[in-house]
Amino acid sequence: MSCSISQNSINFSIFIDCTLIIDSIEVNLGSDFQICDGASTILNAGNNFPNMDYLWNDNSTGQLYSVNSDGLYYVTVSDDLGCEDSDSINITYSI
């Protein structure tokens, strides 16, 4: 806040800094599922919120993860405020 006084008036300036805080992160990769042998799928760990960090089981860091083999996949999502959540999904291939 600042203040200045002149002969016939008093001027005040007030500056407000607003920050939107998302107080929780929820990661949901969905239920375990099976896909046909030779097929691939994309896992999506995010909601396109800004300032999110993604860490997958192979240390890749994108919001999207391409799967082309069976296995257990997991991701941890965190923000710059220290909030984080994790999820995993088991994908199996059928012949």
Tokens of 81: 């405020």
Tokens of 40: 């691939």
Q: What is the chain's mean pLDDT, rounded? A: 84
Q: Give yes or no for a contact between 78 and 25, defined as CB atoms under 8 angstroms apart.
A: yes
* Residue 73: CB atoms within 10 Å: 19
pLDDT of residue 47: 73
**Per-residue pLDDT tens for 13-53?**
666 665 555 557 889 999 999 999 889 999 999 877 778 99
